[in-house]
Amino acid sequence: MRIQPSILSADFANLDAEFASISSADGIHVDVMDGHFVPNMTFGLPVVKRMQEITSLPLDVHLMIEHPDHWAPKYAALGVFSVTVHFEACENLANLIPKIKSEGSRVGVAIKPGTPVTAILPYVENLDQVLVMSVEPGFGGQSFIPSSLDKIAELKSLLAERGLATWIQVDGGISAENISQVAAAGADTFVAGSSVFGAPDRNEMISRLRTLAVESAH
């Protein structure tokens, strides 16, 4: 069970201190948005490069951008832990997956709430993680979409049928109130933005979320 706070909810002017405040995290989820694939914009390669230089925590890069076929290998080349592209934005996913891997990053594919789990099945043998979005991508602080639970359970059973240990990541609206249900559905990797960064003690919240997830795991 892994907890990855989303840097989208952090103070971008104090990243050193923000990283230090989540030192017990399993990784940091880094939301890259381009104002085209999603109606919001964050930062790009030079900022992620600096993040990679100033923290020893694994960076999990979530690319909510157009043209991931062009950009994703460049993020992987920074040495980040994982790079996740959106299924809906990819031109040639079969070609892109090995390009990301050859730069040394783990590779993930994300699906928006309206995209069925079956869309990623042709590629799943080559993926390290599948990200089930539990909100419409673009903004932190939204409510978890309940139908995501069925998608997570469906993905879990499709992976089990194939004997795959692919990580099931979930992103959007995760909190201490719902993480048990999400873990029980089959997720093992949890992105949490506002619930961690809004907590008075962020490391205490990370540990609480992890404990709740472990207690509800399969």
Stretch that binds ligand DX5, among 11-19, 50-58, 189-197, 203-211 (CB under 6 A): 189-197
3-state secondary structure of 214: helix
Comparing C-alpha atoms, which of 171, 185, 174 is closest to residue 209? 174
Check 34, 128, 171, 188 and give the catalytic one. 171
Q: Does 173 bind ligand DX5 (CB under 6 A)?
A: yes
Q: Does 86 bind Zn ion (CB under 5 A)?
A: no
Check 16, 31, 34, 128 and give the catalytic one. 31
Q: Does 113 bind ligand DX5 (CB under 6 A)?
A: no
Stretch that binds ligand DX5, among 48-56, 83-91, 121-129, 138-146 (CB under 6 A): 138-146
Q: How far is the CB of 7 from ligand DX5 (least distance, A)?
A: 8
Pairing of strands 82-86, 28-33: unpaired
Q: How far is CA 122 from CA 82, 119, 132, 142, 156, in A?
A: 20, 7, 16, 30, 16
Q: Does 42 bind ligand DX5 (CB under 6 A)?
A: no
State which of positions 192-211 bind ligand DX5 (CB under 6 A).
Answer: 192-195
CB count in 10 Å sphere of residue 104: 12
Among 48, 55, 57, 62, binds Zn ion (CB under 5 A): 62
The edge-to-edge listing of strands for the beta sheet with 82-86 is: 2-5, 189-192, 167-171, 129-133, 106-111, 82-86, 59-64, 28-33
Q: Does 140 bind ligand DX5 (CB under 6 A)?
A: yes
Among 1, 2, 3, 8, binds ligand DX5 (CB under 6 A): 8
CB 96 within 8 A of CB 72: yes
* Shorter beta-carbon distance to ligand DX5: residue 58 or 141: 141
31 is catalytic: yes
Scanning the chain, the segments in alpha helix (DSSP H) are 15-20, 45-54, 68-76, 93-102, 148-161, 179-185, 194-197, 202-216
Q: By the criterion CB under 6 A, which residues form the site for ligand DX5?
A: 6, 8-9, 29, 31, 62, 135, 137-142, 171-174, 191-195
